[in-house]
């Protein structure tokens, strides 16, 4: 396990236990870390004990060290390599095309990472339908004193019903994309809920009965579907997120809804 993953996993386990059952949280945390094969800090190789966990907890709460958490799949923490690569490209894109940030996404346990990246002035809304994750988000936001609005709601339902407009949509859906009709329904909501210029991260999985070729054929419809709603795809970056049983792909889209006559005037 890489040093960065070890540090992130220690953060994850500390917060998991100190925000849950406070009775002997350090003992429970040390037991879980031992099960994961972690008994020392990667820096300096100091052994983990109750005192060091309490010290790390205070550092996290005061912001002395960043609260970077690992990617979690099937309840188990793991490396962030794929997630970090995807988000590094997303942030490069947002910094190139946007100024003031208004973000809506499926943040999960990355609240602190998103807030630190976008800065204190950014508007951040996090949607979550899973009750357990939603409660964890509330505890984490309170623990870290984060100014983030949490919604226990399906993100598309929220976007469809809100009057608010965002310029960053982070749709890390973990959902199979199987048809153009499905993609079209998402795009209608995206266009309705974005500002004139925006960046969208769309992460989906390739379904069991969908080949890579079929997936690519669906994705190729993106420009035309947006154009039909008077929205131009200025840039389209593609990438692979995970290569496992259900391969994941991400699409980064830079959108422009500026009226056609205004674009002509600016040119």
Give me 78's structure tokens: 């793991």
Q: Which domain holds residue 135?
A: 81-266
Give me 157's structure tokens: 């339902």
Q: Is the pTM of this model over 0.85?
A: no
- Clarify whether residues 58 and 110 are in a common domain: no
- Clarify whether residues 205 and 126 are in a common domain: yes
- Clarify whether residues 220 and 246 are in a common domain: yes
- Clarify whether residues 157 and 185 are in a common domain: yes
- Clarify whether residues 21 and 147 are in a common domain: no
- Clarify whether residues 255 and 125 are in a common domain: yes
Domain C-terminal end among 30, 45, 77:
77
- Clarify whether residues 153 and 233 are in a common domain: yes
What separation, in Å, do the N-terminal and C-terminal C-alpha atoms of the chain show? Answer: 52
Question: Sign of dihedral through CA atoms 107, 238, 117, 71?
Answer: positive
Per-residue pLDDT of the chain (267 residues; tens, 9 = 90+): 678 888 888 888 888 888 876 668 999 999 999 998 999 888 766 789 999 999 999 988 887 777 777 666 666 666 777 778 888 889 999 988 898 899 999 888 788 889 888 988 999 999 999 998 899 889 888 888 889 999 999 999 999 999 999 999 999 887 888 899 999 999 999 999 999 999 999 988 886 677 888 999 999 999 999 999 999 999 999 988 766 666 788 999 999 998 754 554 454
- Clarify whether residues 25 and 154 are in a common domain: no
Domain C-terminal end among 77, 110, 139:
77
Domain C-terminal end among 55, 77, 99:
77
Token look-up 């794929």 returns 82
Total structural domains within the chain:
2
């Amino acid at each position: 396990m890489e040093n960065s993953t070890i540090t992130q996993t220690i953060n994850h386990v500390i917060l998991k236990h100190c925000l849950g059952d406070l009775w002997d949280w350090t003992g429970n945390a040390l037991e879980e870390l031992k099960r994961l094969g972690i008994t020392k800090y990667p820096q300096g190789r100091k052994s983990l004990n109750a005192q060091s966990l309490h010290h790390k907890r205070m550092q996290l709460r005061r912001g002395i060290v960043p609260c970077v958490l690992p990617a979690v799949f099937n309840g188990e923490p793991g490396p962030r390599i794929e997630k970090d690569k995807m988000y590094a490209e997303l942030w490069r894109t947002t910094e190139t095309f946007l100024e003031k940030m208004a973000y809506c996404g499926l943040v999960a346990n990355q609240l602190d990472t998103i807030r630190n990246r976008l800065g204190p002035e950014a508007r951040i809304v996090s949607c979550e339908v899973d009750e357990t994750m939603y409660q964890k988000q509330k505890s984490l936001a309170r623990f870290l004193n984060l100014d983030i609005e949490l919604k226990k709601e399906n993100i598309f339902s929220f976007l469809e019903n809100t009057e608010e407009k965002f310029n960053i949509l982070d749709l890390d859906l973990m959902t199979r994309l199987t048809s153009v009709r499905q993609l079209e329904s998402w795009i209608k909501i995206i266009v309705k809920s974005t500002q004139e210029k925006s960046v969208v991260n769309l992460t989906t999985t390739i379904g069991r009965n969908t080949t890579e070729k079929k997936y690519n054929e669906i994705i190729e419809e993106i420009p035309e579907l947006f154009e039909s709603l008077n929205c131009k795809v200025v840039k389209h970056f593609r990438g692979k997120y995970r290569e496992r049983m259900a391969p994941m792909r991400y699409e980064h889209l830079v959108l422009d809804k500026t009226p056609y006559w205004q674009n002509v005037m600016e040119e």
